[in-house]
């Protein structure tokens, strides 16, 4: 799909850094950006699984021979690795225009009192501290040229907390609060802070949350028509291809049969 030649023009030749790009929303965003820019783009794809990133890079390069793709193994929960990664970017990729803070995860649905300590740490380290640390590392690059887009992936969970989301919901509320602070601090700049809050999206998200229990993961989407990663990627690309003077600041995205975190229409 495409939003017309203006979108292609606005995104062409930019340097885009995506976290969690090996699958789901991150990978779909990489593809949607490549298509919209017709391959005239420089993508920095990061995730823990380098082999998956390489597969995606190969696919994109096959489709768009002139595209520039850099794949880097990066676990954003390992905070001490973030600055060195940004500082070591090859010159061609160093001048980041768009940062897609997508890496994030939920672990478990246990009630407060029974949540594993290690799950608490992993969720906060990845969803909050990793996102903040990477943003801090990239922001000076954008400030220096007074332009850039930062897309933070929030969630309905950050707006509408639900039982069993004792840690995941607060991590996403933190993302929202951080986005608000940034937008206010950057008010005099041309840097745009864009938050996209998806509802139910069928990706590896629930497989990860339920630690490989595929039956539980499937039950989350049973009888519904969930969103898919591509649907969110379209919103991200739409947001970053708007006129510079406009910002799609915060967007809640549901499938048509979802109305809140827990209110989903399910066909019997």
Contact flag: residue 77 with ligand 8X3 (CB under 6 A)? no
What residues form DSSP beta bridges with 19?
none
217 interacts with ligand 8X3 by CB under 6 A: no
59 exposure class (CB count in 10 Å sphere: 0-12, 13-18, 19+): middle
261 touching ligand 8X3, by CB under 6 A: yes
- Say if residues 102 and 150 touch (Cβ distance below 8 Å): no
CA contacts within 13 A on the Cβ side of 235:
24
Binding string, residues 174-203; x marks residues near ligand 8X3 by CB under 6 A = ------------------------xxx---
Of the residues 168, 176, 184, 245, only one is catalytic, namely: 168
Q: Phi/psi zone of residue 251: left (φ > 0), alpha (ψ -120 to 50 degrees), beta?
A: beta
| Minimum CB distance to ligand 8X3, residue 98 (Å) | 21
44 neighbors 68 (Cβ within 8 angstroms): no
145 flagged as catalytic: no
State which H helix or E strand residue 251 sits in.
Answer: strand 250-253
Using CB under 6 A, which of 157, 196, 229, 240 touches ligand 8X3? Answer: 157
> Smaller CB distance to ligand 8X3: residue 142 or 196?
196
Indicate which single residue of 77, 102, 135, 155 sits in contact with ligand 8X3 (rule: CB under 6 A): 155
* Residues contributing to the site for ligand 8X3 (CB under 6 A): 155-157, 168, 198-200, 261
């Amino acid at each position: 799909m495409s939003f017309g030649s203006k979108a292609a023009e606005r995104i062409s030749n930019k340097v885009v850094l995506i976290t969690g790009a090996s699958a789901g929303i991150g990978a779909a965003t990489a593809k949607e950006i490549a298509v919209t820019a017709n391959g005239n783009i420089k993508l920095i794809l990061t995730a823990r699984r380098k082999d998956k990133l390489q597969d995606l890079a190969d696919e994109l390069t096959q489709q768009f021979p002139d595209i520039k793709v850099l794949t880097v193994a990066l676990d954003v929960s390992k905070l001490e690795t973030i600055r060195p990664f940004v500082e070591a970017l090859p010159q061609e990729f160093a001048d980041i225009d768009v940062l897609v803070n997508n890496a994030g995860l939920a672990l478990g649905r246990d009630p407060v009192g029974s949540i594993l300590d290690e799950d608490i740490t992993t969720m906060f380290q990845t969803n909050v501290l990793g996102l903040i640390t990477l943003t801090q590392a990239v922001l000076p690059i954008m400030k220096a040229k007074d332009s850039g887009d930062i897309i933070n992936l929030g969630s309905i969970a950050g707006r509408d907390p639900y039982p069993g989301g004792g840690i995941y919901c607060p991590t996403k509320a933190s993302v929202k609060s951080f986005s608000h602070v940034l937008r206010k601090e950057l008010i005099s700049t041309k840097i745009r802070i864009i938050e996209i809050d998806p509802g139910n999206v069928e990706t590896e998200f629930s497989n990860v949350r339920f630690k490989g229990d595929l039956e539980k993961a499937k039950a989350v989407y049973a009888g519904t028509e969930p969103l898919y990663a591509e649907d969110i990627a379209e919103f991200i690309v739409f947001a970053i291809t708007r006129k510079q003077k406009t910002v799609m600041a915060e967007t809640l995205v549901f499938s048509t049969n979802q109305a809140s975190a827990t209110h989903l229409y399910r066909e019997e």
